[in-house]
Structure 1
């Protein structure tokens, strides 16, 4: 009975958010509470929900300060020199332009926000693409492919959902998959090279005033926010923070809190400016963090009522024993179509806990299943369920279907490359 109730809860949750009847945040709160009452757990819900919220609190706080940290860096113009340098180097060679696009998109994606990546990358390169005759769809495809790989960053969304849904630490989920991300990034550069070569065959190398284009490149419209004299400090701070995260010198949440406090104080010492910068990112930060805490209620009730255990046991009955030892690879492969046809919230909060429980029966650590579940992200960003991708095609004036038709196979390629890296390096077992 518990298994049936759990499956119905997830089904209702998926239907509500995929049909747009409820936002994911509201559904994460209302649906589990409703089904807990139906299952007779009304008097026990309070402790369950509180336990769930406590378990996701570090993740929610980390995401909040990561958004603020990288937002301040963008406002301060940290990426401006990179953009200008890339535009000067690529000149009129479509191959160099395509590779430069990939490099910039990969770097901008460090903030974990696809929308920001698209806005900066397209704004910097679209005039150049149009001027020399390169197809804007190539620009869009490279940008979305780079974002798909870098979206695995803990503050990008999917990894935070995995940590939340499975109650894991960043060191258990994200740090081990860094080599896979590097492999995916190299594949994106290779893809950019291939498309650049096609464009060079089509239009050749074009002469153009690239110095003027570089001067026009900017990451923010408000010049008064930029801090060119602090560029070295900001780069150094970013590198130190990323190294500290990887080496786990302090918990991620404290590192980002400290990093944000330093970067905003040094770049914007006036209290008025600090308040404006924080307010500027409040909307984005609130929407993401509130989702994390709402997910705590969902996972708290799912675990506290033992629904997830009952569902996992029922799923295991239908899995061939021969596939048990390969469950991590199966999860990695399935993550691509699953996240393409359903939202991240539906997959990571609804399906992933089942896969983790099922894998545990065969002796596979939930952390390994969590890592594997991230590798479908390049495919996910080409899903019609991803709002930021509509922004992308709108900015370049292309059709969504054209983007999917050309780049979906490359997205699967990125996923396969990352799976291979994970298997070869033992990040999860074959």
Structure 2
């Protein structure tokens, strides 16, 4: 009975958020509470929900301050020289332009926000693509692939959901996946290289010696925040050094991620905006992003707390295990990695990571598979996921690139599959996903 109730809860949850009848935030709180009451767990409802919230509190804190940190770095202009330099170097060579686009996307995607990545990349590069006559589908595809690879950083949405859903340590999931991310980065650059060779063969190298300086200036300006008064070019190397130290500390695990980002943000905002009123203004400017992410994490605590507390997830996992041949049990991580591609395409991140992933992890545990293996395996599908019509930021990408959504999907899909395959193979090779 618990298994049926659990499956029904997941189906209702997925249906409501995929049909946009409820937002993920509201559904994560109301749907599990409703089903807990139906299942006769009214008296334990509050305790189970609070337990889930407490378990996810550290993740929520980390994400809040990670968003604020990278928001300050963007405001201060840390990434602006990269944009300008790429535009100067690539000139009229389609090959240099595509590879330059890939480098730009990978750097900008460090903030973990697809919307920011697309806005900066497309604004900076589209004028150049138009001037040279290159296919804008290439620009959109490189942008989505690069952003997908960087979507497994600790402060990105997919990683946050995995950690929230399975209650595992962020560093334990992320650090073993660094080689897979490196493989994905190389694949994105290779893809950009192939695209560039094709365009160079089709168009040749365009002489842009007489390219209007206004074009470059426009692209550079469009790629940055409009309020130039917030820029801190004299602090560029200070901000770069601080970011490198932060990333080093994250990888080495010298202290909890939450503390690292809290201290990093405090130092960054004091260095760049010592005026208290300006600090308040910059924090307020990023408050919307912070609230959206943090509220989702805490709402997920209610969902996962109830799912676990009622034992629904255990019952669902047992029912799932019963239909999987025993011979395939040890390969559950690889199976999870493969099925993450279609799952994350046909359903939202919230539906998959909060609804399906806990079931897979519980089922895998019966075969002695660690939940960390399942956590890492579930992160192999972002490239395919970002081509889904369920992803809001993809509509922004398509709109800014001025391409048809269907054409974009057909054009990028084989390369997205390639990205996931490369990351899965590298993960298996280094032992991040057990085989």
**TM-score, structure 1 length as denominator?**
0.99
Give the whole-Å Cα distance in 1 for the aligned partners of 2:164 and 2:76. Answer: 31
| Residue of structure 2 equivalent to 1:271 | 276
Contact 1:332 1:375 in 2 (8 A): yes
Q: CA deviation at 1:215?
A: 3.8
Q: Does 1:140 align with 2:140?
A: yes
What are the Cα deviations for residues 175-234 of structure 1, in whole angstroms up to 9, with x where unaligned?
110110110010000000011111111111111238654444031111111000000000
Among 306, 310, 317, which residue is 1:312 paired with?
317
Contact 1:88 1:210 in 2 (8 A): no
Q: Does 1:419 align with 2:424?
A: yes
Range with greater deviation from structure 2 (83-92 or 182-191): 83-92
Structure 2 gaps of 5+ residues are none
Q: CA deviation at 1:135?
A: 1.2
What are the Cα deviations for residues 14-47 of structure 1, in whole angstroms up to 9, with x where unaligned?
0000000000000000000000000000001111
Instruction: Provide the aligned length of Structure 1 versus Structure 2.
Output: 430
| Residue of structure 1 equivalent to 2:403 | 398
Corresponding residue SS for 2:43: helix
Structure 1 gaps of 5+ residues are none
Give the whole-Å Cα distance in 2 for the aligned partners of 1:119 and 1:325. Answer: 43
| Residue of structure 2 equivalent to 1:93 | 93
Q: CA deviation at 1:322?
A: 1.2
Contact 1:144 1:381 in 2 (8 A): yes
Give the whole-Å Cα distance in 2 for the aligned partners of 1:214 and 1:72. Answer: 25
Q: CA deviation at 1:271?
A: 1.3
Q: Does 1:375 align with 2:380?
A: yes
Give the whole-Å Cα distance in 1 for the aligned partners of 2:373 and 2:247. Answer: 23
Shift in CA distance, 211/236, structure 1 to aligned 2, threshold 3 Å: farther
Give the whole-Å Cα distance in 2 for the aligned partners of 1:207 and 1:232. Answer: 34
Contact 1:87 1:213 in 2 (8 A): no
Q: Does 1:286 align with 2:275?
A: no
| Residue of structure 1 equivalent to 2:119 | 119
Corresponding residue SS for 1:295: helix
Q: Does 1:79 align with 2:49?
A: no
Shift in CA distance, 243/405, structure 1 to aligned 2, threshold 3 Å: same
- Show the 5 A alignment for 1:320-335: 320-335=325-340
Q: CA deviation at 1:337?
A: 0.4
CA root-mean-square deviation: 0.9
Give the whole-Å Cα distance in 2 for the aligned partners of 1:185 and 1:402. Answer: 24
Q: Does 1:191 align with 2:191?
A: yes
| Residue of structure 1 equivalent to 2:227 | 222
Corresponding residue SS for 1:42: coil
| Residue of structure 1 equivalent to 2:264 | 259
Shift in CA distance, 152/210, structure 1 to aligned 2, threshold 3 Å: farther
Contact 1:97 1:196 in 2 (8 A): yes
| Residue of structure 1 equivalent to 2:201 | 201
Give the whole-Å Cα distance in 2 for the aligned partners of 1:54 and 1:175. Answer: 24
Give the whole-Å Cα distance in 2 for the aligned partners of 1:189 and 1:173. Answer: 25
What are the Cα deviations for residues 140-197 of structure 1, in whole angstroms up to 9, with x where unaligned?
1100010011011111111111111110001221111011011001000000001111
Give the whole-Å Cα distance in 1 for the aligned partners of 2:343 and 2:370. Answer: 21
Give the whole-Å Cα distance in 2 for the aligned partners of 1:310 and 1:274. Answer: 50
What are the Cα deviations for residues 335-358 of structure 1, in whole angstroms up to 9, with x where unaligned?
010000000000000000010011
What are the Cα deviations for residues 266-304 of structure 1, in whole angstroms up to 9, with x where unaligned?
101111111111111111110111000000000000000
Give the whole-Å Cα distance in 1 for the aligned partners of 2:420 and 2:167. Answer: 24
